[in-house]
Structure 1
Amino acid sequence: MASDTTPNEAGDLTRRSVLKTSAALGLLAVPAVGLLSACASGGSEDKEGVGVDTADAVNPFKVDGKKPLEVVIFKGGYDDKYAIAQEAIYKEKFPESVITHHGIEDIRAEMGPRFNSKNPPDVIDNSGAQQINHADLANNGQYADLTPLLDAPTIDDANVKVRDTLLGGVVELGTYNGKFHVLNYGFTLYAIWYSGGLFAEKGWTAPTTWAEMLTLCEEIKKAGIAPWTYTGVHPYYLFDMMVTLAARHGGNDVIKNIDNLEPDAWRHASIKLALEAMADLKAKGYILEGSDGLDHRASQARWAKKDAAFIPVGSWLENEEKELLAADPNFEMKCLIMPPLDGSTNPNAVWAAPGEGFAVPQDAKNREGGLEYLRIMLSAKGREAFSKNTSSLTVVAGKTEGMPDSPGVRAANEALKTTATSAFPFKIDEWYPDFGKGILRPKLGEVMAGRLTPDEFIDTIQKAADDVKSDSAILKQKR
């Protein structure tokens, strides 16, 4: 979020997050509107050189249809088939354009040198474990301002601006230092996933509190199945556990204060209780042996094969493991939000947020085409291409074109309907990547592996956060 967000805007984030979540489920007919005011108008050109003709619903960015378009997609949980389908829509509109598609996994290794040499692609899905930090690229002027996209008419209705179709929070989460730079396109629920078929077979009931979770884990362990597995190689997947447990126990301000580098934010009692709950799973032998050395696909495969009952991950899981899940017709994928700790004051908090960040690089050769490609992604045809290929929602409010009727989709929607009254974001690891990736993520993994105590973690992370706050060379963000 932008560093110049006003107190009223920051304080209203929870309400907007709730609207966002509800709209994603089709519960709201009218989406929340982003914070940014229009800075590009009919026929004008913004200071970065991209104009928008708000009266032209066909070609508002004046795309040269003969120019080539290069698209880079993170080939992760969503794969890249949806993008190939969306590129076909662009090609249909501009048949003389040559489209170059790259589906890659290591964004940083392959795209970092291109950004530095001022030769980036025209559109990039900068996502995954090896993404380039969005804040760094935005702060360095390497991302174009996407405000013209917000002010452009939608493809499906010339009388409606793009900004007025997006879920609340999308603009805020993609804004850095007052400018909208990143379109987070996919809507993700972070939850615990399990097999409904396995639970029915064993007579187990999904827990509704953390105390019930521990009781069930003992039953699962006695049945010869590991209660939990997780992605140890990429410990940022553990954020869901920590921040959800903490936000449910102490309220969303616990997480907001961490993001804002408030004094002793990491020493809040709710953070310690969340960490102790995580460490307790390891101490009681409830985690699949060797999980700390498994990457995301390996841990998910062990879960899909029912070697472990629970796994914490985002709602892209069904699509990423669709082949393994299809091999077991009785699996019946289910999910639950992290069960609250005893004494929780905010037991319905849920981490559900826009993700899969798309940007148009400032040095792109065809920025106009890049903006139009994003506009196509947000159209009905573009949304259908995404949802049909990924079993996931986009960030266009109340629209579900192409969504399959699959167990994972039904489970995620049901979980959101019954629990998402207090959605929250978590930004500190993205805003300060050296802190997040270099210290916070590895140390959190050490806690889950039983090699670091909660108190040791808190002392280490609080000092690191204080160092970030006191370093005048680091640009600070605030929400």
Structure 2
Amino acid sequence: MTDIFAKPELDRRTLLRRAAAVGLLATPAVGMLSACVGGGSDDSDSEQATGTKSADNPLGIDPKAGVEIVIFNGGLGTAYATDVDTPLFNKKWPDAKVTYSATEQISTVIQPRINAGNPPDMINNSGSNLMDFGAIVKAGQAADLTDLFAAPSLDIPGKTVAETLVPGAVEQGSYDGKPFAMNYSYTVFGLWYNKALFAKNNWTVPTTWAEFTALCDKIKAAGITPFGYAGANASYYMVRALLTSAGKIGTEQVLKDIDNLKEGAWQNDAIKQAAQAWGEIGNKYINKTFLGLKHTEVQLQQNQDKVAFYPCGSWLENEQAKDTPPGFEYAIAAYPSVTAADKLPAPAINAAAGEIYFAAAKGKNPAGGKEYLRTMLSKEAALGFTKLTKSLTVVAGASDGVTISPGLTSANDAVTKAGKDIFMGYLFDTWYKKLDDESRGAVNDLMFKGGDAQKFCDRMEKASQAVAKDSSVTKFTRS
């Protein structure tokens, strides 16, 4: 049988920035997912471990049944699972053995097990080899997490799990109105720089485009590349930068229209203005050799103070921990306002929940998988995750008042400054692989090859409408 989970590879950071649309609706263009996809029979449900529900056991797990978890081994590492979450789980359920494994090849390892009807109980779906989660949901392979989010928090008295999370966290993992994913890591996106380098040179972080280009001139005169990203495997960092600017110019509706494949969406003036502004940065202030470099190579140059500004998400500090020299202080700035008429203010930022974790509906112990997720969503576990990964979680206030690292502190400050002007961004990159690929090539041409804004918009509009008219592509809508 054809493997419906097979798909082109996405970079692992895609999941760190992935956030499902609120009230996500999937409208298949063709018949989806045959009944035999995922393998296994309905008889497996009767063999699943269950227990008696009670106030102390709201999900009704079998206290003695084992729980198998698989964690993606990437930028976040795996210590949070082995050193924080599993000990906390076993503190409450000492007779439930947790079987743990980690892999960089989630789809390669997990997909055959799903197809065979023998999946792990809890899975961290991430990485360049991630599985198509929309297909997993439609095949009935992901457990409905409604009862998890309605269950009491493990360590925040008087609140359900859902009530302890940042706004939108449950909805971001929902499909057809039901939650199937826990998007755990809360990622802040923007311009990253070395605060110590800026202080040494008396450089002020810009809030307007005029200030941005003026500072780039100063940085260039000092012999430092003002702005850079890796064209070989991280061009979507630049796509996000450009579209974040477009969202600030014209509001998030501009990005929703793109996600919904609306005709003319890529020709919106906000996108043209953003592409024009960023294209000039590429023409004047980027090192053209970066087109052939990978993300770690450019990030290392920033650690060596050879690159001033780098567009990325808040996983950057942890990812570069081994290469960051003493005295280097990661800090993040919101992308500067492109025009004086931007509809969102300068502090507005793009931040979203990402990094999918889910319980397998057809595993041996789906209730145990959900209970493991409840453990992760405790305040104690969330704080432990943040300390180990230097990444925020969707557990609201879990790291308040705790000084962990310069970059995390800066990201927290950026969220506070943005206030109500935090927007989720776009989703087409995880919905439509062909459109994502085209955006990466188009932005590289714009930034490295002297491309112009109109050509960028024309190219993306053509690609978008090709997807819209392709009946073989499952369409998603966003409100």
Give the shorter-chain TM-score range: 0.7 to 0.9
1:333 aligns with 2:330: yes
Query: Which residue of 2 is the match for residue 14 of structure 1?
Result: none
The question of whether the paired residues in 2 share the 8 Å contact of 1:259 and 1:426 is answered with: no
**2 CA distance for matches of 1:418 and 1:141?**
41
Task: Describe the superposition over 1:401-460 as per-residue Cα deviations: whole angstroms up to 9, x where unpaired.
Answer: 794332112211222222343221234325523234433334333433327543333223
Matches of 1:151 and 1:172, distance apart in 2: 13
Out of 57, 75, 78, which is 1:77 matched to? 75
User: Map of 1:151-166 to 2, 5 A cutoff?
Assistant: 151-157=150-156, 159-166=158-165
2:267 equivalent to 1:267: yes
CA distance 1:393–1:431, change in 2 (3 Å): closer
Higher mean C-alpha deviation, range 124-133 or range 249-258: 124-133
1:280-314: per-residue Cα shift (whole Å, max 9, x none)? 22211x12343223333222211111110111111
The correspondence of residues 203-222 of structure 1 with structure 2, limited to 5 A, is 203-222=202-221
How far apart in 2 are the matches of 1:212 and 1:316?
Answer: 27
1:397 aligns with 396
Where in structure 2 are the equivalents of 1:100-115 lying within 5 Å?
A: 100-115=99-114
Indicate if the aligned counterparts of 1:181 and 1:359 stay in contact, CA closer than 8 A.
Answer: yes
Structure 1 69/51 Cα, relative in aligned 2: closer, same or farther at 3 Å?
Answer: closer
TM-score normalized with structure 1 length: 0.83
The equivalent of 1:23 in structure 2 is none
Deviates more, 1:435-444 or 1:146-155: 435-444
Cα separation, partners in 2 of 1:210 and 1:82, compared to 1, 3 Å = same
Deviation at 1:160, TM superposition (A): 2.3
Given that 1:387 and 1:401 are in contact with CA atoms closer than 8 Å, whether structure 2 keeps it comes out as no
Match of 1:56 among 51, 54, 57: 54
How far is 1:164 from its partner? Answer: 1.7
Structure 2 partner of 1:359: 358
CA drift at 1:360: 1.3
3-state DSSP of counterpart to 2:477: coil
Q: Relative to 1, partners in 2 of residues 1:177 and 1:229: Cα closer, same or farther, differing over 3 Å?
A: same
CA–CA separation in structure 1 for the residues paired with 2:243 and 2:309: 18
The answer for the alignment partner of 2:297 in structure 1 is: 298
Contact 2:185-2:354 within 8 A present in 1 as well: yes
1:253: how far off? 1.3
| Alpha-carbon distance in 2 for matches of 1:471, 1:249 | 30
Tell me how many residue pairs correspond in the alignment: 435
**8 Å Cα contact 2:22/2:174 also seen in 1:** no
Residue type at the aligned position of 1:338: Y
Q: Which residue of 2 aligns with 1:134?
A: 133
Aligned-pair CA distance for 1:367: 0.8
| TM-aligned CA deviation for residue 377 of structure 1 | 0.4
Counterparts in 2 of 1:68 and 1:293: CA distance versus 1, 3 Å: farther
Matched residue, 2:40 = none
Instruction: Give the unaligned 5+ runs of structure 1.
Output: 7-47
Deviations 1:50-70 (A, max 9, x none): 999997342222222333322
Query: 1:338: how far off?
Result: 0.5
The question of 1:476 aligning with 2:473 is answered no
CA–CA separation in structure 1 for the residues paired with 2:362 and 2:223: 56
Q: Is 1:418 paired with 2:417?
A: yes
**Secondary structure of 2:476's partner?**
coil
Matched AA of 1:275: A
Q: Which amino acid aligns with 1:337?
A: A
C-alpha displacement of 1:275? 1.7
Question: Structure 1: how far apart are the matches of 2:264 and 2:275?
Answer: 16
CA deviations on 1:108-138 (whole Å, 9 max, x unpaired) are 3333333333333211221234422322322
Give runs of aligned pairs for residues 25-104 of structure 1, distance below 5 A: 56-84=54-82, 85-104=84-103
* 2:326 counterpart letter in structure 1: D
SS in 1 for 2:170: helix
Contact 2:359–2:370 at 8 Å: present in 1 too?
A: yes
Q: Deviations over 1:85-120 (max 9, x none)?
A: 211222233333332323333333333333333333
Q: How does 1:144-183 map to 2 (within 5 A)?
A: 144-157=143-156, 159-183=158-182
Instruction: Give the Cα–Cα distance (whole angstroms) in 2 for the partners of residues 425 and 52 of structure 1.
Output: 37
Q: Could you give the per-residue CA deviations for residues 194-227 of structure 1, whole angstroms, max 9, x where no partner exists?
A: 1121112222221111121111112111211111
The alpha-carbon distance between structure 1 residues 379 and 449, as it changes in their structure 2 partners (threshold 3 A), is same
CA contact (8 A) 1:166 1:396 kept: yes
Contact 1:350–1:420 (CA under 8 A) maintained in structure 2: no
Residue in 1 that maps onto 2:312: 313
Letter in 1 for 2:418: T
The answer to whether the 8 Å contact 1:242/1:275 transfers is yes
Task: Kindly indicate whether the alpha-carbon contact (under 8 Å) linking 2:24 and 2:477 is maintained by their aligned counterparts in 1.
Answer: no
Change (3 A) 1:199 1:402: closer
Q: Which residue of 1 aligns with 2:42?
A: none
C-alpha separation in 2, matches of 1:249 and 1:425: 15
* Root-mean-square deviation over aligned CA pairs: 2.7
Give the whole-Å Cα distance in 2 for the aligned partners of 1:70 and 1:97.
10
SS of corresponding position for 1:309 = strand
| Cα 1:218–1:52 shift into 2, 3 Å | farther
Q: CA deviation at 1:71?
A: 1.6
Question: Does the CA contact (< 8 Å) of 1:2 and 1:177 recur in 2?
Answer: no
